[in-house]
Structure 1
Amino acid sequence: MKIVILNTGCANLLSVKLAIDRLGYDSKISCDILQIYNSDKIIIPGVGSMASVMNQLYQLNLIEIIKNITQPVLGICLGMQVLSMFSEESGGIKGLDIIPVNVSLLNTNGLSLPHTGWNKINFNIDHLLFKNINIKDRFYFVHSYAIPINKFTIASTFYGMEFTSVIQKNNFFGVQFHPEKSGLLGNRLLKNFLEI
């Protein structure tokens, strides 16, 4: 299986690669167009700002390529948010407009931002991505912005408000948490994605 971790210039590229390698799969960190087209699975990681990731994708002429690929894609944290139409971050940033939703600052009702630490996800549907994962299982989050609940939400999480923690539209998947930092459960979710 050919797995490409999209080189978004973010800090968690290597930790995502190591997590996939530990599962026994080979992966490449790349922004090469041919490798992207010829891959079986694509992962879009993200730590940092949406503006920097979108700028990187624009500079590499990857915007339209990502929007039109047909193989399964997994966006992680900020990599999930770039799949959206628009983010409130930094005064407003346009996303890839793959999933027609917007990203907004979490209204935590007094809880601290960023939302950092372990939290559970609540399944909206039964999905292959959640195979051997239970509703009380927890994953590691670090974020201040989130996608509200919408028709593409397949799991949600509560932190002062309910927000989308897992999303899917066609071949595009996104998780707001960091599976590469979520131990055995994170590995299980990554494996589930790679086996879809």
Structure 2
Amino acid sequence: KYLEPIREEVRDALARFGWSKLATENMRRIDSFLRETQRFRGLGGISMLRKVLKDFTFSDGTTVKKGQMLAVGLRAMHYDSTIYPQADEFEGFRFVGSADTTGDELALPNRLVSTSLEFLPFGIGRHACPGRFWAANEMKAMLAYMVLNYDMRMEDDGKVPDEQWYGSEIVPDLGAHMLLKKREDTKF
């Protein structure tokens, strides 16, 4: 469902821009696929863990005491159907948007590197991860290389393996196997 459209997009971007940052910026399907992967199978159930530095009372009367820990329920937010329609289903092209002609990586609100109150894997505001642009470029380039050079599938008839929870951290099944077959028709 996703492999061929992504492969086609990668071929087009590389034909136009070569292996460059401009090429990865034009890989909207890969961008969306990676963002949806972070939403659907992120590595943490919580995000933005913070220690309270002084007692504070919110406008609704909720009080937090100095020394307490607070975090955002990332998994709960990412599976909230009022934020993400059909939130319990993986939709790899969920975030493919209209064309961005500005060249600005943040011009579209649903890019992999974009932050919002509904999508916090990279944090938000002045504390957002400054390395997210590099990380996104590397992930896109790696996935582009893989889809061009290999046919891939999960070993068990494409079944996505279960994830393992360790406290609030989520780890992919370490016993899962992905099958790779080198492609012969690669031009890039």
Taking structure 1 as the reference length, what is the TM-score of the superposition?
0.21
Which structure has more strand as a fraction of its residues?
1
Structure number with larger C-alpha Rg: 2
Q: Which has the higher contact order (CA 8 A, sep 6+)?
A: 2
